[in-house]
């Protein structure tokens, strides 16, 4: 079974004066449909506004650049109606299935957010489908004015104005006057909806190698509602993430730098051996083994994995090969001396391996 696993850049879905939305189409990357994952990237210019919408996939957003506000309404949340949240670089925000959100860039520079999603129940396998509430393609503009008038108990002419006055399909650029009507988020309020993964305590940190940080639902209730774990991998120059596999598909977005990815699939076949660069996304099917190495400038990756998944390591003391020495010896047909050396290297190794000029004998 051959799979097309090549890393992909997103395609342009919509671009306006207010910014752009870009997605990874399943037609270009069928493995996303097979793996039931999806992704998109939002770019908001200064005063850019993304209209209120909901989607058919639970997802997490990771802020790559800039600061912005997001209005979020979570269905079934009885404590609050809409929450207005401030976001900055490094923040992770879960967006539960069918929740309504709108996004506004109140800063002076671009905001860039990548969304990685669980597309198990998506209408289009491997893609996020959005439902707009406002704008020419929104629900308020589509229902007949008579229904709108009855729903809001307003006169028919006002209902017709609601339908006809809406502008912009997905993204707007607000005028300076309009921008003044939208406040900045209140940073003094406690924020239980986001966490900054860049500033979080890493699970693994290796000198001259890098670090790996994972946020789990057990630490982050809204993430648990989405059903995903998210990870941020930072590799120093020439460092390597040791091979690993997972019980469910994984999706990686290259946030910074360049490097090399190798994936081993069915029957021990090397199914991918290629360079990856910033802005690309790739999928690792379930149970396939992947390793990642950074180039001279280092590398950063953001990834998701369903919270039900478990990961198996090939290197380090967590290696799935770390068992009684005699089993390792006969499995690999090694001498006792080499077996002892190999076992020692697993016991003292880490999942992030720093660059070395030469290896000891």
Q: 3-class SS at 168? A: coil
- Say if residue 123 is in the same domain as residue 27: yes
- Say if residue 162 is in the same domain as residue 220: no
CATH of the domain at 35: 2.60.120.10
Of 52, 100, 56, whose CA–CA distance to 80 is shortest?
100
- Say if residue 227 is in the same domain as residue 332: yes
In the prediction, which pLDDT does 190 show?
64
- Say if residue 125 is in the same domain as residue 173: yes
Tell me if 42 is assigned to some domain.
yes
- Say if residue 209 is in the same domain as residue 173: no
- Say if residue 111 is in the same domain as residue 202: no
Tell me if 1 is assigned to some domain.
no
In the prediction, which pLDDT does 100 show?
95
Tell me if 143 is assigned to some domain.
yes
Among 149, 179, 209, give the residue marking a domain's end.
179
Distance, in Å, from the CA atom of 298 to the CA atom of 197, rounded to the nearest integer, reads: 18
- Say if residue 116 is in the same domain as residue 210: no
- Say if residue 223 is in the same domain as residue 336: yes
- HEC per residue, 89-101: CCEEEEECCCCEE
Tell me if 317 is assigned to some domain.
yes
What Cα–Cα distance (Å) separates residue 244 from each residue in 44, 248, 265, 302, 359?
A: 36, 12, 12, 16, 22
Tell me if 190 is assigned to some domain.
no
Cβ neighbors of 220 (< 8 A, separation 6 or more) are 94, 195
In the prediction, which pLDDT does 270 show?
96
- Say if residue 113 is in the same domain as residue 219: no
In the prediction, which pLDDT does 77 show?
67
Backbone φ, ψ for residue 251 (5° rounding): -125, 130
Query: If you ran DSSP here, which 8-state letter would residue 303 be given?
Result: E
Distance, in Å, from the CA atom of 347 to the CA atom of 331, rounded to the nearest integer, reads: 18
- Say if residue 334 is in the same domain as residue 248: yes
- Say if residue 207 is in the same domain as residue 323: yes
Range of the structural domain that residue 64 is part of: 11-179
Tell me if 287 is assigned to some domain.
yes
In the prediction, which pLDDT does 206 show?
95
Tell me if 211 is assigned to some domain.
yes
In the prediction, which pLDDT does 142 show?
87
**Count of domains for the chain:** 2
Tell me if 184 is assigned to some domain.
no
Torsion angle (degrees, nearest 10) of CA 142, 144, 147, 153: 90
pTM above 0.85, yes or no: yes
Render each residue's pLDDT in the chain as its tens digit; 361 residues: 567 999 999 999 999 999 999 999 989 999 999 999 999 999 999 999 999 999 999 999 999 999 999 999 998 765 657 889 999 999 999 999 999 999 999 999 999 999 999 999 999 999 999 999 988 888 888 889 898 889 999 998 888 888 777 777 889 999 999 999 999 887 776 678 899 999 999 999 999 999 999 999 888 888 999 999 999 999 999 999 999 999 999 999 999 999 999 999 999 999 999 999 999 999 999 999 999 999 999 999 999 999 889 999 999 889 998 888 899 899 999 999 998 998 888 888 899 999 876 555 5
- Say if residue 222 is in the same domain as residue 269: yes
């Amino acid at each position: 079974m051959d799979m097309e696993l090549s890393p992909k850049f997103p395609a342009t879905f919509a671009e306006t004066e207010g910014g752009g939305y870009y997605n990874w189409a399943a037609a270009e990357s069928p493995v996303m449909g097979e793996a039931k994952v999806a992704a998109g990237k939002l770019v908001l210019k200064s005063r850019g506004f993304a209209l209120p919408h909901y989607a058919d996939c639970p997802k997490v957003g990771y802020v790559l650049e800039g600061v912005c506000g997001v209005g979020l309404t979570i269905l079934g949340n009885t404590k609050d109606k809409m929450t207005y949240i401030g976001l900055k670089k490094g923040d992770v925000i879960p967006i539960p299935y069918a929740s309504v959100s709108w996004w506004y860039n109140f800063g002076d520079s671009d905001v860039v957010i990548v969304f990685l999603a669980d597309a198990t129940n998506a209408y289009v396998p491997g893609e996020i489908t959005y439902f707009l509430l406002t704008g020419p393609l929104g629900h308020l503009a589509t229902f007949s004015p008579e229904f709108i008038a009855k729903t809001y108990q307003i006169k028919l002419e006002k209902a017709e104005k609601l339908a006809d006055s809406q502008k912009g399909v997905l993204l707007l650029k607000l005028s300076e006057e309009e921008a003044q009507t939208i406040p900045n988020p209140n940073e003094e309020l406690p924020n239980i909806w986001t966490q900054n993964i860049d500033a979080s305590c890493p699970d693994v940190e290796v000198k001259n190698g890098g670090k790996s940080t994972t946020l789990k639902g057990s630490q982050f209730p809204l993430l648990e509602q989405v059903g995903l774990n998210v990870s941020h991998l930072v590799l120093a120059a020439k460092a390597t993430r040791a091979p690993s596999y997972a019980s469910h598909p994984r999706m990686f977005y290259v946030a910074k730098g360049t490097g090399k990815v190798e994936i081993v699939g069915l029957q021990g076949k090397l199914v991918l051996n290629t360079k990856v660069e910033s802005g690309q996304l790739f999928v690792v099917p379930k149970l396939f083994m992947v390793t990642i190495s950074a180039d001279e400038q280092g590398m950063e990756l953001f990834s998701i994995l369903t919270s039900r998944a478990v990961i198996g390591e090939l290197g380090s003391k967590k290696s799935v090969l770390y068992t009684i020495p005699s089993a390792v010896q006969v499995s690999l047909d090694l001498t006792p001396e080499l077996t002892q050396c190999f076992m020692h290297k697993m016991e003292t190794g880490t999942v992030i391996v720093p660059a070395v000029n030469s290896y000891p004998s």
